[in-house]
Structures are given as structure tokens and as C-alpha cells.
Structure 1
């Protein structure tokens, strides 16, 4: 009798578009996270490259999707939106159509500054910026609760921000 064969899992090949970042690429990404307004010449000087190789690397990082875009970070207080509220939401249903529709409607609300589909007790964790508790009440009644499918919500007002990063470790 032939010995039993063990089932083996297929080994995943590395993604063809995956690029291993070298230390120069990482320096470029770190510098841009600190100041995205650097000119190519300033960036090249900061990381110790000449301008053309720096520009080539920067374009490659953009093309390959390591850099999603460049933004200005705005001050919520100065814009009259000092209150940050964290909302946990549970939906009635979890079919693909409901999740897609709910996600589209949720992300279209201008008060929503972050939204995550999550695991655990709640389906979504949402961060909104509003001018006051009265403004939050208006947001709930006039916008959020008009989106069909919400079964339950729980809100928490942020008292103080202890850490807020716009960068990731590279």
C-alpha cells in the first residue's frame, strides 16, 4: 500500500508589482511625510542624492502607489469645527449590497472625516467633525439617521486629542 500523501498548501508567489523599498526610498517617504511641500531639489539635498535620481525615485514611488497624494492639513478649531465625535454603528443587514450602499452614503457626508468597516461589536467606526453638541444633534437627525439600515449607534465626544499622526512608519 502506498503511503498517504500529505496535503500541502500552494506557496503564494510574491506580488509582481511589489517593490522592496531601499533606505533611500524610505528616506524620501519619511521626508515627504514631514513636509510634502519640499521641492525636488530640497528633497534631494535632504536625503543626499542629486536631483535627477531623486526625481526618478519620487516618480516611481508615486507610480507604484506608495504615495497616494499630497494634502494640506487643516485646523478644525480655526474652521469652527472643534468637536470630534467617534460613532460606532451597527447595521440591520450585512449583505454586499447593503454594505456598498451604506458606505457610499456615509462617506458622502462632509462631516465624516474618517470611516472604517470593522470587526467586533460594531460594523463601522466613524469620526466626525462638528461645531457643537447642537451641531452633532443636527448631523444625526438630518443626515446620519436618514441613511437606511442603521440598527444601533453609540457616540463618544473626544475630550482631548493625545496623539494624531498623518504618517506611517517607513
Structure 2
């Protein structure tokens, strides 16, 4: 699907999405127009989903974070779709994964503090139809948090 040149471009973009096309082309050994066409192609096929800045959550005012394990009481198509729609609408939910095991979903959530988190639980998560159980693991310290895929492995 992608060749070595695409891997170089993607790795460089993952390191610094603000790199200029000219700099990127030079580092990838391409002309600027050829590099631009490759990037556009990677965007069109959906491999590049977007460009973003990575923020420090504590400096941004989100000093509290948790992993929440959620079990649903029923797995009907409608109840799952309703749950997913509600989750997608909440900006404090950074990630949501459907998983195997004891819980159906795992959420990574940020909040300003414990009171803000408690409000999120009481006034949103506990009120969702079909939620059977919720278990929280409080994040004490961020050890590794990344978005870069290991393309060179």
C-alpha cells in the first residue's frame, strides 16, 4: 500500500506536522511537487486523517485523568449505537475502545479536577441507558502517551 518514500514522509509528518513541503521534500529526496502529490494521495486514501498540535493536558488545565471501564447491560445494535453516539459527543472523552474481557468499553477521560470528574460521572455516564457497571482507574502519572505509529519497524 505504501512504499519506503511514503514511510519517510509519514514519519517526518508525525514528528512535526508543521514542516514545510519544501523541507519535507528535501528530507525525503523528492521534488516539492512530487512530495505534495504524495501527501495529497495519502490524505485522499484516508491514511493521513488530519494534522494536530499535541498539548500538555496539565498545563492546559486538565490535571485529572482516568481510564474508565464500562460494561453495558445489553449489546443490541440500538443500545450500542446510542452509547457510541453519546460518547462521541463528549469532548472530555479523549479515547474510547470497544474491547474483549470484563468490560465492553474503555474510555480515557480528562477533567479539570476530581469534582469535575465526579460531575461527569454523575450527570453523564451513570445516566446513559444500558450502562451496567463503571470502574475507574485514576491516572497518577503519564509515563508514555503517543500518537506516532512505528512505521520504521
TM-score bracket, shorter-length normalisation: over 0.9
CA RMSD of aligned residues (A): 1.0
- 1:74-85 superposed matches below 5 A: 74-85=55-66
Whole-Å separation in 1 of the counterparts to 2:35 and 2:92: 38
Residue 86 of structure 1 and its aligned partner are, at CA, apart by 0.4
Residue 147 of structure 1 and its aligned partner are, at CA, apart by 1.2
Bigger radius of gyration, 1 or 2? 1
Match of 1:62 in 2: 43
Match of 1:155 in 2: 136
Report the TM-score, using the length of structure 1 for normalisation. 0.85
Flag structure 1 segments of 5+ consecutive residues without an equivalent: 1-19
Q: Does 1:133 align with 2:126?
A: no
Report the TM-score, using the length of structure 2 for normalisation. 0.95
Equivalences, count: 151
- Comparing both chains, which one has the higher relative contact order based on Cα–Cα distances under 8 Å and sequence gaps of 6 or more? 2
Q: Does 1:47 align with 2:52?
A: no
Match of 2:85 in 1: 104
Residue 136 of structure 1 and its aligned partner are, at CA, apart by 1.1
- 1:7-46 superposed matches below 5 A: 20-46=1-27
Residue 73 of structure 1 and its aligned partner are, at CA, apart by 1.5
Whole-Å separation in 1 of the counterparts to 2:78 and 2:105: 16
Give the alignment partner of residue 102 of structure 2, picking from 121, 125, 138.
121
